[in-house]
Amino acid sequence: MKPTQALIALATIVYAAPVVEQTKALTPPLAELDTHFEHHNKRCGKDKPPFLGRFPFANETYNQLTDGTPCRNVTMIYARGSRQAGNVGKANNTGPALFNSLADRIGLENLAVQGVTYKARRRDYIFKGGCNEGSKTMAKLINQAASQCPDTKIVIAGYSQGAQLLHKAAKNVTAGVTQHIAAAVTLGYPEKPMGKIAASRSLSVCRPGDSFCDKTIPWKPFVPFVGAPLWWFLTMLDTHGDYNENATAVANWIADRVTNIG
């Protein structure tokens, strides 16, 4: 064997052996992986292990009040807008954006999210002032949070038709239950009193240019849109759909009202 070939063969032996050992060392057995994720599985009960990325609330449905999740320091009961997915909307909609911003402020482990499941039909928004069954469901969830988790600080929030539900629900809970509500927020809906909830704990967010919210267009009947310029109508729809951009400011306001948690 030539000297050059001998050196190459020797180098191959020297560098190959450690690579095999290193690969084995970096591959933990399944038992170790189970142990690593055990606390996640216990924490979530029947749910999948939580997504702990930058935006942990990425699903369209959350039922952390009714699915057996242990009581947390803050319980958010949220009603989505018309035709939005699941019971809180898609990951880039107002609800999940708000949950993620609030989790950033108070800690993910302190926040439970419960969506309001209802038929979010536009006709109910236009002609009924919000789905009546949905508002009853929301009131029931508020009552359940107060009795099931008496030490939790309840936050109620609603976007668009969800805000209509919030107003109706707030009128149908007792003064005693209302005391458990630390904050109430409506987004994309005209400002008005929220049942018996104190003004200091109530916030109504209305984006400039959102004619659905600032009442610059009449609601009944819906025909005024017929004569409106198409560009104005489309711009208004975009503005009405952009309340996810207010998530951080709203979360900061809520966090200030649920301080001293833990």
Q: What is the largest CA-CA distance in the chain?
A: 96
> Which pLDDT value is given to residue 47?
47
User: Do the domain assignments include residue 10?
Assistant: no
User: Do the domain assignments include residue 43?
Assistant: no
> Which pLDDT value is given to residue 241?
76
Question: How far is the C-alpha of 84 from the C-alpha of 87, rounded, in Å?
Answer: 8
Question: How far is the C-alpha of 137 from the C-alpha of 76, rounded, in Å?
Answer: 14
Record the tokens describing residue 142, joined without a space: 């508020």
User: Do the domain assignments include residue 233?
Assistant: yes
User: Do the domain assignments include residue 14?
Assistant: no
**CA dist 33 to 19, 22, 24, 28, 41, Å?**
22, 18, 15, 7, 12
Of 82, 101, 135, 160, catalytic: 160
- CATH number for the domain spanning 130: value is 3.40.50.1820
| Domains in the chain, number | 1
Q: Is 211 a catalytic residue?
A: no
Of 101, 167, 202, 210, catalytic: 210
HEC states along the chain?
CCHHHHHHHHHHHHHHHHHHHHHHHCCCCHHHHHHHHHHHHHHHCCCCCCCCCCCCCCCCCCECCCCCCCCCCEEEEEECCCCCCCCCCCCCCHHHHHHHHHHHHHCHHHEEEEECCCCCCHHHHHHCCCCHHHHHHHHHHHHHHHHHCCCCEEEEEEECHHHHHHHHHHHCCCHHHHCCEEEEEEECCCCCCCCCCCHHHEEEECCCCCHHHHCCCCCCCCHHHHHCCHHHHHHHHHHHCCHHHHHHHHHHHHHHHCCCCC
- Confidence (pTM): 0.74
User: Do the domain assignments include residue 37?
Assistant: no
Query: Is it true that the peptide bond before 221 is cis, omega within 30 degrees of 0?
Result: yes
CA neighbor of 75 nearest in space, from 144, 162, 131, 161: 144
Per-residue pLDDT of the chain (262 residues; tens, 9 = 90+): 555 555 445 444 444 444 433 333 333 444 444 443 444 444 444 444 444 446 789 999 999 999 999 999 999 999 999 999 999 999 999 999 999 999 999 999 999 999 999 998 888 887 888 889 999 999 999 999 999 999 999 999 999 999 999 999 999 999 999 999 999 999 999 888 999 999 999 999 998 888 888 766 644 444 455 555 666 666 777 778 789 999 999 999 999 999 865 4
Q: Is 240 a catalytic residue?
A: yes
User: Do the domain assignments include residue 85?
Assistant: yes
User: Do the domain assignments include residue 7?
Assistant: no
User: Do the domain assignments include residue 235?
Assistant: yes
Structural domain range at position 194: 60-257
> Exposed/middle/buried for 104, CB within 10 Å: 0-12, 13-18, 19+?
middle
